[in-house]
């Protein structure tokens, strides 16, 4: 099947969406799909691309060779199950198979460590680290803007927070 | 009262180019499999729990809607208004929507993640939209235990959402850049900034109505604030280019002719298909923004939303066939534009 947009390349991305109440299927080549932003448009149907999961599949192949299959205690999924489903089955899957997820995360996001809001259930030291991160960002901004009064204030706050962590 | 207006009836900041800003946060309950792996009973328990929690909120007045209780076209109409995902409208079993009166806050319960909350307002307002979503998130977080990992952030069904689990989007109207055929070129630069561009309606390059959605792609290793800043910066860049190109574009007599003909067609047509309307509405909106026509931009925004098939069905109170919809659409557009 040829790409609906360029009619040149083989269509590899199949998108199902509801437009105006009617289900519409679109078939695009990878290039056109990327240009139109379809890679992210309907992740529910699309899941992850083959490319993103290539690394995972290799890992899963290795794990089936070993006799003991590791399973997530909460949902009983093996890593192979997750690769087949293309999505995690429960939050704990990420904790059990953390190392195996990393290459995929690197592929998708270019990063593997969270920066940003922290859930209330998280540990106190995670919250402090996050607060420190934000304060340092603000400090850099204050220095850029030559707001030295604010910078001094922020430096004190950072020092105090760091001290609490070491104490 | 701007605050009580729905996103499509309110032209906010940079309203000439930006129709709306939406922020979505995905959250899951710790130790509970994701919705696609749960039994009917377990899903029902989650829905009851979340509704009970939301009922006690003092700052947010959210009304629960059992998706199964809706007529299919009512569910699709919600998706057409960008309040829920297309999948949430398509598979409605065991799913509940919490919706505020003004539709600015919507929480999908048991979508791909246990909770997917969104805020949506007219114009460019990333700070406001995130601010409200953040407060709603905190209110849930006080009572529920979220699935969160120090290294991976909020744990979500799809690894592509891990980290902040935030999707922030803006809906843009870019008729001049579209007409000049440069939208695809700009869209291609978006991924470098961790953003994606797609058309709001339709498929492929023919963005019906010249409407586009710009969304952040990266959720890991980038704070919410940084992602929102990226989104806003690229939006402003596109807006600047659109305005610069529009100045000479709309001064052409041929363009003004097309704008006025589109308006004439919409105010006279007896039958109006969705495609025909979108194309003409885009021109009318351009004419409205640049003072060629005396039509408020928010009237055009409302028509873009209200004249979609499922919303028309809601208006009629029945599942009309396409030809009946074309009659109703034409009648409604005529009356709206001659107000
Ligand atoms: Zn193509
Ligand atoms: Zn699991």
- Per residue in B213-265, pLDDT tens? 999 989 999 999 999 999 999 999 999 999 999 999 999 999 999 999 999 99
User: Could you tell me the two tokens for B84?
Assistant: 């829920």
pTM exceeds 0.95 for this model? no
Same domain, A59 and A86: yes
CA separation for the pair A101, B162 (Å, rounded): 11
Q: Does A28 touch chain B (CB under 8 A)?
A: yes
Q: Is residue A119 situated within a structural domain?
A: no
Same domain, A145 and A100: no
Same domain, A97 and A130: no
Give the domain extent around A2.
Answer: 1-45
The number of distinct structural domains making up chain A is: 3
Q: Is residue A67 situated within a structural domain?
A: yes
Same domain, A32 and A61: no
Q: How far is B40 from chain A (nearest CA, A)?
A: 16
Q: Does A113 touch chain B (CB under 8 A)?
A: yes
Same domain, A52 and A5: no
pLDDT above 90 covers what percent of chain B? 78
CATH code assigned at A40: 3.30.60
Q: Is residue A78 situated within a structural domain?
A: yes
Q: Is residue A160 situated within a structural domain?
A: yes
Q: Is residue A90 situated within a structural domain?
A: yes
pLDDT band at A52 (very low <50, low <70, confident <90, very high): very low
Q: Which residues of B touch A15 (CB under 8 A)?
A: 203
Asked if residue A80 has pLDDT above 80, the reply is yes
Q: Does B101 touch chain A (CB under 8 A)?
A: no
Who contacts B324 (Cβ-Cβ below 8 Å, separation ≥6)? B316
Asked if residue B44 has pLDDT above 50, the reply is yes
Is the Cβ–Cβ distance between B143 and B53 less than 8 Å? yes
Q: How far is A101 from chain B (nearest CA, A)?
A: 8
Last residue of a domain, one of A86, A109, A132: A109
Same domain, A135 and A155: yes
Last residue of a domain, one of A109, A135, A155: A109
pLDDT the model gives residue B200: 82
Same domain, A1 and A40: yes
Helix axes B297-306 and B322-337, enclosed angle (nearest 10): 170
User: Could you tell me the two tokens for B213?
Assistant: 């959605």
Helix axes B253-268 and B224-251, enclosed angle (nearest 10): 100
Same domain, A66 and A105: yes
pLDDT above 70 covers what percent of chain B? 97
pLDDT per residue as tens digits for the range A7-42: 788 877 666 554 433 445 667 777 766 655 454 333
Beta-carbon separation of B223 and A116 below 8 A: yes
Q: Does A17 touch chain B (CB under 8 A)?
A: yes
Q: Does A74 touch chain B (CB under 8 A)?
A: yes
CA trace torsion B70, B72, B78, B80 (10° rounding) = -170
pLDDT per residue as tens digits for the range B94-138: 999 999 999 999 999 999 999 999 999 999 999 999 999 999 999
Ligand in closest contact with the CA of A75: 2
Same domain, A54 and A37: no
For residue A75, the CA-to-ligand 2 centroid distance in Å is 4
Same domain, A101 and A61: yes
CB-closest option in B154, B184, B219 to A119? B154
Beta-carbon separation of A26 and B203 below 8 A: yes
CA separation for the pair A29, A27 (Å, rounded): 7
Same domain, A92 and A76: yes
- Share in percent of chain B as helix, strand, coil (round to 5): 50, 15, 30
Q: Is residue A148 situated within a structural domain?
A: yes
Same domain, A52 and A98: yes
Q: Is residue A114 situated within a structural domain?
A: no
Q: Is residue A117 situated within a structural domain?
A: no
Q: Does A165 touch chain B (CB under 8 A)?
A: no
């Amino acid at each position: 099947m040829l790409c609906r947009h360029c009619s040149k390349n083989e269509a590899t991305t199949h998108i199902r969406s509801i437009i105006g109440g009617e289900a519409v299927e679109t078939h695009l080549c990878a290039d056109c799909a990327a240009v139109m932003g379809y890679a992210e448009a309907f992740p529910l149907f699309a899941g992850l691309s083959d490319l993103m999961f290539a690394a995972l599949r290799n890992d899963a192949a290795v794990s089936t060779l070993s006799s003991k299959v590791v399973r997530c205690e909460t949902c009983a999924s093996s890593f192979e199950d997750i690769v087949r489903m293309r999505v995690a089955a429960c939050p704990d899957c990420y904790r059990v198979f953390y190392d195996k997820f990393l290459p995929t995360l690197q592929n998708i996001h270019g990063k593997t460590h969270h920066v940003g809001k922290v859930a209330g259930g998280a540990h106190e030291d995670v919250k402090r680290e996050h607060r420190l991160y934000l304060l340092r960002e603000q400090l850099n901004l204050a220095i850029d803007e030559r707001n030295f009064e604010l910078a001094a204030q922020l430096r004190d706050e950072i020092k105090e927070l760091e001290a609490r962590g070491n104490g | 009262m701007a605050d009580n207006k729905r996103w499509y009836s309110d032209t906010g900041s940079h309203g000439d180019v930006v129709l709306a800003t939406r922020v979505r946060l995905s959250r899951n309950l710790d130790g509970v499999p994701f919705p696609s792996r749960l039994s009917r009973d377990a899903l029902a328990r989650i829905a009851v729990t979340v509704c009970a929690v939301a009922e006690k909120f003092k700052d947010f007045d959210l009304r629960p809607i059992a998706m199964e209780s809706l007529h299919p076209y009512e569910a699709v109409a919600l998706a057409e208004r960008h309040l829920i995902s297309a999948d949430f409208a398509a598979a409605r079993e065991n799913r509940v929507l919490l919706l505020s009166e003004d539709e600015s806050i919507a929480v999908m319960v048991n979508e791909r993640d246990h909770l997917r909350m969104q805020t949506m307002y007219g114009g460019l307002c990333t700070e406001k939209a995130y601010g409200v979503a953040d407060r709603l998130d905190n209110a849930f977080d006080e009572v529920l235990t979220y699935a969160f990992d120090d290294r991976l952030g909020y744990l979500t069904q799809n690894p592509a959402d891990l980290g902040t689990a935030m999707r922030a989007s803006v809906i843009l109207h870019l008729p001049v850049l579209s007409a000049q055929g440069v939208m695809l070129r700009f869209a291609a630069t978006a991924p470098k900034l961790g953003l994606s561009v797609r058309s709001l309606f339709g498929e492929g390059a023919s963005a019906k109505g010249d409407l586009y959605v710009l969304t952040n792609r990266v959720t890991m290793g980038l704070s919410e604030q940084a992602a929102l800043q990226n989104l806003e910066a690229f939006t402003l860049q596109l807006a600047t280019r659109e305005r610069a190109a529009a100045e000479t574009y709309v001064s052409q007599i041929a363009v003004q002719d097309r704008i006025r003909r589109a308006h004439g067609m919409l105010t006279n047509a007896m039958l109006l298909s969705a495609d025909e309307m979108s194309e003409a509405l885009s021109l009318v909106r351009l004419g409205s923004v640049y003072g060629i026509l005396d039509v408020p931009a928010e009237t055009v925004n409302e028509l873009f939303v209200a004249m979609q098939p499922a919303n028309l069905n809601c208006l009629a109170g029945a599942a009309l066939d396409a030809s009946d919809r074309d009659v109703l659409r034409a009648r409604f557009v005529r009356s709206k534009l001659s107000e």
